[in-house]
């Protein structure tokens, strides 16, 4: 291509709605996967994205679209810009925006792997995705699962560290208490018979003698009071 296509997904939305081009043709022209274009056509993707007319933007001609509609094997060519802007020389490496749309699946994979306590709605709020996409990544049925790499959404610029911390804390508050692990103290009812030493039986006997002595003393006192009467 002579130059970069502006707003590829919005362009794909417009081409799906306004032309008879195949999914493969649209996908190649917009730099998307054919399954993404299919999802746009089915209404499963690109929610809230308004289609952008590439003809009005000067990136595609009506004649080029007609050629593609007449031949499914034809590959669309982006129009040459009428005005060329000189490229600015950079001293350092070219800056690439971190909040790219294609990085969202990587961010979702990171959240699913390292914060499994988060609900789908929370992940959607953090990275602006759909529950269907989250489910596909959880179940490894996403069209690009083999190439996904878990990446921190904060590093990608998809959300702030504060937003992530808030959602993690909220999930922790709503999570059920964890089951006890390791050694724990047994109830007294189960341990009262365990630590009986050699004096245990004697202590029980002494306690019994004391009780009987007390009863005998009370009985004697009562008998003496009756004799005095």
Domain ranges of the chain: 8-70, 101-174
The answer to whether the CB of 68 falls within 8 A of the CB of 25 is: yes
| Backbone φ/ψ region at 7: left (φ over 0), alpha (ψ -120 to 50), beta | left
| Rg of the chain (C-alpha set) | 38
Helix/strand/coil for 20: coil
Helix (H) or strand (E) segment spanning residue 168: helix 161-174
The token duo for 120 is 């789908």
Q: How far apart are CA 215 and CA 17, in angstroms?
A: 100
Q: How far apart are CA 93 and CA 96, in angstroms?
A: 9
Q: How far apart are CA 152 and CA 8, in angstroms?
A: 25
Cα 93 off chain centre by: 32
92, with CB counted inside 10 A (0-12, 13-18, 19+), is: exposed
The answer to whether the CB of 123 falls within 8 A of the CB of 108 is: yes
Q: Which residue has the tokens 């590959």?
A: 75
The answer to whether the CB of 156 falls within 8 A of the CB of 98 is: yes
pLDDT digit of tens for each residue in the chain (229 aa)? 345 777 888 899 999 999 999 999 999 999 889 998 998 888 887 776 788 888 888 888 999 999 999 999 999 998 876 545 444 443 433 333 444 568 889 989 999 998 998 999 899 888 888 889 999 999 999 888 888 889 888 877 888 888 888 888 888 887 666 555 555 555 555 555 555 444 444 444 445 666 666 666 666 665 555 555 5
């Amino acid at each position: 291509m002579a130059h970069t296509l502006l707003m590829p997904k919005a362009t794909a939305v417009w081409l799906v709605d306004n032309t008879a081009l195949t999914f493969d043709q649209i996908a190649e022209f917009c730099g998307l996967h054919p399954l993404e274009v299919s999802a746009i056509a089915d209404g499963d993707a690109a929610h809230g994205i308004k289609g952008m007319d590439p003809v009005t933007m000067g990136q595609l001609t009506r004649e080029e679209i007609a050629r593609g509609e007449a031949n499914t094997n034809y590959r669309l060519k982006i129009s040459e810009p009428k005005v060329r802007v000189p490229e600015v020389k950079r001293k350092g490496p070219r800056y690439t925006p971190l909040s790219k749309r294609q990085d969202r699946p990587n961010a979702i994979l990171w959240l699913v792997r390292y914060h499994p306590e988060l609900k789908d709605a929370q992940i959607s709020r953090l990275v602006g995705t759909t529950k269907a996409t989250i489910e596909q990544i959880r179940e490894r049925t996403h069209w690009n699962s083999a190439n996904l790499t878990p990446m921190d959404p904060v590093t990608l610029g998809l959300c702030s560290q504060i937003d992530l911390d808030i959602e993690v804390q909220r999930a922790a508050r709503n999570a059920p208490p964890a089951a006890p692990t390791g050694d724990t103290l047994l109830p007294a009812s189960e341990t009262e018979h365990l630590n009986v030493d050699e004096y245990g039986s004697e202590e029980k006997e002494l306690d019994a003698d004391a009780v009987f002595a007390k009863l005998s003393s009370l009985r004697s006192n009562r008998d003496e009071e009756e004799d005095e009467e």
